[in-house]
Amino acid sequence: MAPAAISEIKVGHIDDVQELKKSKTSQIPERFIRDRTERPNLDYSCTNIPVVDLSKLFQGSKDEFCSEILNLMTSCKEWGFFQVINHGIDLELLERIEKVAMEFFMMPLEEKQKYPMIPGTVQGYGQAFVFSEDQKLDWCNMFALGLEPHCVRNPKLWPTKPSDFCETVEIYSSEIRKLCKNLLKYIAITLSLNEDIFEEMFGVAVQAVRMNYYPACPRPDLVLGLSPHSDGSALTVLQQGKGSSIGLQILKDDKWIPVQPIPNALVINIGDTIEVLTNGRYKSVEHRAVTHKEKDRLSIVTFYAPSYEIELGPIPELVDDKNPCKYRRYNHGEYSKHYVTNKLQGKKTLEFAKINN
């Protein structure tokens, strides 16, 4: 059967989780209750994922640079997730973006609904990746915007309130963009590749931001904040709200591990594009978010990806007899479309590119 046209998608009623929380009901609507096998372990204990000190890469001595490159390499290879400190982004800017995001989510529902995320699309306010009436819902409100290049922007979805929202998003995004470019440069170095290889290959990179707001949930043991998935990007930069509960979990060695926020650090993860380009040497790691009984949580997530026009596949230098080619070549725009028109299901979307030997 041909896939349903976007306009035919019937998603049924989607409760707004902040409104559910306000209604003080302890009853969780059926659509949020996960099947037993999907329910989370609520381990909020500390786990330390690797930390990369970017100041040692930006301005360290030669020895510091080399040892931090090694650290970055192991972080990418063994974890796919790490936190960066001394990243050079003004801490006041990190606070400002959190402030406007919180102000946005705290507005009345009618105001937020002026920027609706139409089912089947991923920009605006609502829940992304819902494609049917019987699909389980995430305990999360999202607000997402395409940023770069400008042709991905939908100006109708840029909010007029709070008044400094758009300006703050612009400044924040251009800083995060620089960070992504730098990270890709260093990641290329860890692979013994030309440091500009990703930059040259990506064209004008596509960048989007998604703000996720996870209200406290009376039964965090039954729901998920965000379904397990890998990111379709090349790199993702995630800022965890100050004072938020722990909520991000990554799948490592078949166990869900909570990521302990470090104040002022940013969480970086490898996305599907880098997995393909590195022929699986660096993997995009499956992750999810869980909720908390008393505390709300905010995250601000930037996705950085190649231009839609580019064709990509494993970089030839990373393919040899010992590492046979694991992914086919494809057009990144097609992959993006595939990604946003399927529900989040672990790493299933990347099967699009896998060569089954």
Spatial CB neighbours of 155, under 8 Å, sequence gap ≥ 6: none
281 binds, among ligand OGA, Ni ion, none (CB under 5 to 8 A by kind): none
Side chain identity at residue 314, one-letter code: P
Q: How far is the CB of 269 from Ni ion (least distance, A)?
A: 7
Residue 49 region, left (φ>0) first, then alpha (ψ -120 to 50), else beta?
Answer: beta
Nearer to ligand OGA, 53 or 231 (CB): 231
Please say whether the beta carbons of 270 and 76 come within 8 A. Answer: yes
Nearer to Ni ion, 56 or 207 (CB): 207
CB of 230 to Ni ion, least distance (A): 7
Partner touching 247 among Ni ion, ligand OGA, none, CB below 5 to 8 Å by kind: ligand OGA
> What is the smallest separation between the CB atom of 321 and ligand OGA, expressed in angstroms?
36
Residue 93 CB, nearest distance to Ni ion (Å)?
22
- Please tell me the distance from the alpha carbon of residue 109 to that of residue 22, in angstroms, as a whole number: 11
Are the C-beta atoms of 143 and 151 separated by less than 8 Å?
no
Near Ni ion by CB under 5 A: residue from 68, 138, 175, 231 = 231
Q: Tell me how far apart the alpha carbons of residues 323 and 214 are, in angstroms, rounded to a whole number.
A: 41
Q: What's the closest the beta carbon of residue 81 comes to Ni ion, in angstroms? A: 10
Kindly provide the residue ranges of all beta strands, DSSP E only, lying in the chain, ordered along the sequence: 51-53, 81-85, 124-126, 141-148, 206-214, 226-229, 235-240, 248-252, 255-258, 266-270, 287-289, 297-305, 311-312, 330-331
User: Contact residues for ligand OGA (CB under 6 A)?
Assistant: 210, 212, 226, 231, 238, 247-248, 287, 289, 299, 301
User: Nearer to ligand OGA by C-beta: 236 or 279?
Assistant: 236
Report in angstroms the alpha-carbon separations of 327 from 187, 279, 313, 332, 350.
20, 7, 6, 13, 9
DSSP H stretches of helix in 60-160: 62-74, 91-105, 109-112
- Is 184 or 226 the residue whose CB approaches ligand OGA more closely? 226
| Partner from ligand OGA, Ni ion, none contacting 112, C-beta within 5 to 8 A by type | none
Token pair of 115, please? 């920027």
Q: Which CB, 73 or 130, lies closer to ligand OGA? A: 130
Q: Which is nearer to ligand OGA, 71 or 299 (CB)?
A: 299
Position with the least CB separation from ligand OGA? 299
Residues 6+ apart with CB under 8 A from 16: 109, 141
286 is a contact residue toward Ni ion (CB under 5 A): no
- By beta carbon distance, the residue nearest Ni ion is 231
- Cα 91–chain centre separation: 21
Q: Which of these segments, 81-89, 155-163, 224-232, 346-354, binds Ni ion (CB under 5 A)?
A: 224-232
Pairwise CA distance, residues 205 & 202, whole Å: 6
Minimum separation from the CB atom of position 316 to ligand OGA (A): 30
Cα atoms in the 13 Å half-sphere on the side-chain side of 6: 13
Closest distance between ligand OGA and the C-beta of residue 267, in Å?
8
Q: Give the one entry of ligand OGA, Ni ion, none that residue 117 binds, where binding means its C-beta sits below a cut-off of 5 to 8 angstroms depending on kind.
A: none
The listed partner (ligand OGA, Ni ion, none) that binds 71, CB under 5 to 8 Å by sort, is: none
Is residue 217 within 8 A of residue 291, CB to CB? The reply is yes
For the CB of residue 245, give the shortest distance to ligand OGA in the complex, in Å. 11
Pick one of Ni ion, ligand OGA, none as the site partner of residue 210 (Cβ within 5 to 8 A by kind): ligand OGA
CA distances from 128 to 91, 103, 189, 193, 272 (A): 29, 21, 35, 36, 19
Pick what 248 binds: ligand OGA, Ni ion, none; C-beta below 5 to 8 Å, kind-dependent: ligand OGA
The contact set with Ni ion (CB under 5 A) reads: 231
